[in-house]
C-alpha cells in the first residue's frame, strides 16, 4: 500500500516540550480515562496508540500500541464503544486507487484493538470516518478521490463493501479547490440524514439515510452551498440539534447553520472569521469541538497554529469571539475535550506531540500554556 502524502507541506520539526501550566490545580479529580490516538504512519508511527489520561493532573501516559494499522488518521467509536472504525488515508489499497476503512474490536480492559476487517473506500485519501447512532452504518469521506461511501456494519462489527458510493465532480475558485474534496461525513441528530462536507466544491451534500441498510439517497435540494472559496471542512451539531457549525479551511471562517430537520435544509445564520482583522498570513482551520453544555466552541487553526475560542448565544446559536491562544505545537490536526471537560487535548501533527490545556468550564477559557507529550504524527484523539 502507498501512504497518502497530501499533508507533507504541513509537516515540520520535532516537538518542543512545554512547561507545566498554571491551571493544573483547578482540575477535577476524576480518575484515569483511556483513549486512542490515530497517526499518520510515515515517520516511525505504527498505527493506533493507547493512552491513559489522568483528569486530575492532565498527564498523558502511553500504554502501548493498540493495533498495527496503515495510516489510521481518523477514528470513530460505535455508540456502545465495542467497535472502533478507522479511516486509512492511503493512495492505494489492494492494487487500486483507493483508501480504506477498518473496523476493530475494542478490549476496554486491556485498551487493545483486534482487527475485524478492512474494506476499500472507493477513492484515495480516505480522511474521515463516522458511524450512525445505531452502530449499524459507517461512512467514509475521500479527500483525494473527491467521493463518499456508506457501509453496513453487522453485529460483530464487520464492514460490508460499499452500499452507496458518490463520486463528485467540478472545482472551486481557489488553488486548494482544483477538484472535489470529500472531507467530513456527519450523521444528523435524528439519524435520518448524512452530510458530506466537500472542501473543493464549497458544498455540504445532503442524503437521506436508511439506517436499516446504510443506503443513501440524495436530498432535494441536494446540498447547502457555502460562499465561493470557503472550503467547508468540518461539521458539528449543537446539542439541541437545531444548529450546526461548519469550519471552512480555505477562508478561515466558521458558518453557523440553522438546521430544518423536517425539510432537510441548512440555512446560513452567521459567517465569522477565525483570524484577526487584517490578518494576511496563512491559516487553515482543521477541527471543531463543542462542550456538552453547548456554551462554547473551539477551533484549531493550522499554518499560523493557534486555538480560537467562541461563546455560543443561547437564543440563536451565533458565535462571539472570546480569545485566541496557543495550540502547543504546529499543525493542530484534531482536538478533543476530555470527559470531565476540564482539559482540551490537541494533536499537533508537524511537531509530533499531543498538547493538553486546562479549561475553565464556567468561562470556557483555555490556559495559555499546556503540557506536551511526544508521539509521531498524531491525527485523531478518541476517548473510551
In a domain, residue 105? The reply is: yes
In a domain, residue 163? The reply is: no
Candidates 145, 144, 162, 165; CA nearest to 153 is: 162
Task: Tell me the average pLDDT of the chain.
Answer: 92
* CA pair distance 46, 68, nearest whole angstrom: 6
Q: What is the pLDDT along the chain (384 residues), one digit of tens a residue?
A: 333 334 443 333 333 333 333 333 333 334 799 999 999 998 889 999 999 999 999 999 999 999 999 999 999 999 999 999 999 999 999 999 999 999 999 999 999 999 999 999 999 999 999 999 999 999 999 999 999 999 999 999 999 999 999 999 999 999 999 999 999 999 999 999 999 999 999 999 999 999 999 999 999 999 999 999 999 999 999 999 999 999 999 999 999 999 999 999 999 999 999 999 988 889 999 999 999 999 999 999 999 999 999 999 999 999 999 999 999 999 999 999 999 999 999 999 999 999 999 999 999 999 999 999 999 999 999 999
In a domain, residue 77? The reply is: yes
In a domain, residue 62? The reply is: yes
What is the distance of C-alpha 275 from the center of its chain?
20
Q: What is the pLDDT of residues 166-220, one digit of tens each?
A: 999 999 999 999 999 999 999 999 999 999 999 999 999 999 999 999 999 999 9
In a domain, residue 108? The reply is: yes
In a domain, residue 184? The reply is: no
**pTM for the whole thing?**
0.91
Predicted pLDDT at 11: 39
Which region holds residue 346: left if phi is over 0, alpha if psi is between -120 and 50, else beta?
beta
Candidates 303, 310, 238; CA nearest to 274 is: 310
Predicted pLDDT at 279: 87
Enclosing domain of residue 48? 1-9+32-127
* CA pair distance 365, 122, nearest whole angstrom: 41
Q: How many domains does the chain have?
A: 1
* CA pair distance 335, 323, nearest whole angstrom: 17
Q: What is the pLDDT of residues 136-165, one digit of tens each?
A: 999 999 999 999 999 999 999 999 999 999
Predicted pLDDT at 348: 98
The grid coordinates of residue 343 equal 482539559
In a domain, residue 88? The reply is: yes
In a domain, residue 337? The reply is: no
Q: What is the pLDDT of residues 287-310, one digit of tens each?
A: 999 999 999 999 999 999 999 999
The grid coordinates of residue 253 equal 471562517
Amino acid at each position: 500500500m502507498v501512504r497518502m502524502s497530501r499533508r507533507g507541506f504541513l509537516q515540520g520539526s520535532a516537538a518542543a516540550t512545554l512547561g507545566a501550566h498554571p491551571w493544573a490545580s483547578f482540575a477535577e479529580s476524576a480518575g484515569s480515562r483511556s483513549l486512542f490516538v490515530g497517526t499518520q504512519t510515515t515517520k516511525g508511527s505504527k498505527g493506533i496508540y493507547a493512552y491513559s489520561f489522568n483528569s486530575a493532573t492532565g498527564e498523558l501516559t502511553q500504554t502501548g500500541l493498540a493495533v498495527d494499522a496503515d495510516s489510521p488518521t481518523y477514528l470513530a467509536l460505535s455508540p456502545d464503544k465495542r467497535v472502533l472504525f478507522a479511516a486509512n488515508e492511503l493512495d492505494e489499497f489492494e492494487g487500486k486507487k483507493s483508501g480504506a476503512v477498518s473496523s476493530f474490536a475494542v478490549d476496554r480492559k486491556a485498551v487493545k484493538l483486534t482487527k475485524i476487517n478492512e474494506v476499500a473506500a472507493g477513492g484515495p485519501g480516505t480522511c474521515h470516518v463516522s458511524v450512525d447512532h445505531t452502530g449499524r452504518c459507517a461512512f467514509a469521506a475521500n479527500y483525494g478521490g473527491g467521493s463518499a461511501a456508506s457501509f453496513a456494519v453487522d453485529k460483530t462489527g464487520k464492514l460490508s463493501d460499499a452500499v452507496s458510493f458518490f463520486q463528485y465532480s467540478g472545482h472551486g475558485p481557489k488553488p486548494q479547490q482544483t477538484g472535489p474534496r470529500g472531507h467530513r461525513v456527519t450523521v444528523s441528530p435524528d439519524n435520518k440524514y448524512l452530510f458530506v462536507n466537500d472542501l473543493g466544491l464549497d458544498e455540504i451534500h445532503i442524503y437521506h439515510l436508511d439506517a436499516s441498510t446504510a443506503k443513501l439517497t440524495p436530498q432535494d435540494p441536494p446540498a447547502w452551498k457555502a460562499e465561493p472559496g470557503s472550503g467547508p471542512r468540518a461539521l458539528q451539531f449543537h446539542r439541541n440539534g437545531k444548529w450546526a457549525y461548519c469550519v471552512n479551511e480555505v477562508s478561515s471562517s466558521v458558518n453557523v447553520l440553522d438546521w430544518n430537520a423536517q425539510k432537510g435544509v441548512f440555512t446560513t445564520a452567521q459567517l465569522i472569521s477565525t483570524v484577526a482583522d487584517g490578518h494576511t498570513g496563512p491559516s487553515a482551520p482543521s477541527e471543531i469541538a463543542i462542550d456538552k453544555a453547548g456554551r462554547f466552541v473551539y477551533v484549531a487553526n493550522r499554518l499560523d497554529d493557534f486555538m480560537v475560542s467562541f461563546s455560543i448565544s443561547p437564543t440563536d446559536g451565533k458565535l462571539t469571539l472570546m480569545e485566541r491562544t496557543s495550540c502547543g505545537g504546529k499543525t493542530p490536526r484534531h482536538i478533543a475535550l476530555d470527559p470531565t471537560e476540564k482539559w482540551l487535548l490537541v494533536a499537533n501533527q508537524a511537531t509530533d506531540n499531543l498538547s493538553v490545556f486546562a479549561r475553565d468550564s464556567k468561562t470556557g477559557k483555555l490556559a495559555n500554556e499546556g503540557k506536551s507529550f511526544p508521539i509521531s504524527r498524531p491525527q485523531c484523539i478518541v476517548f473510551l
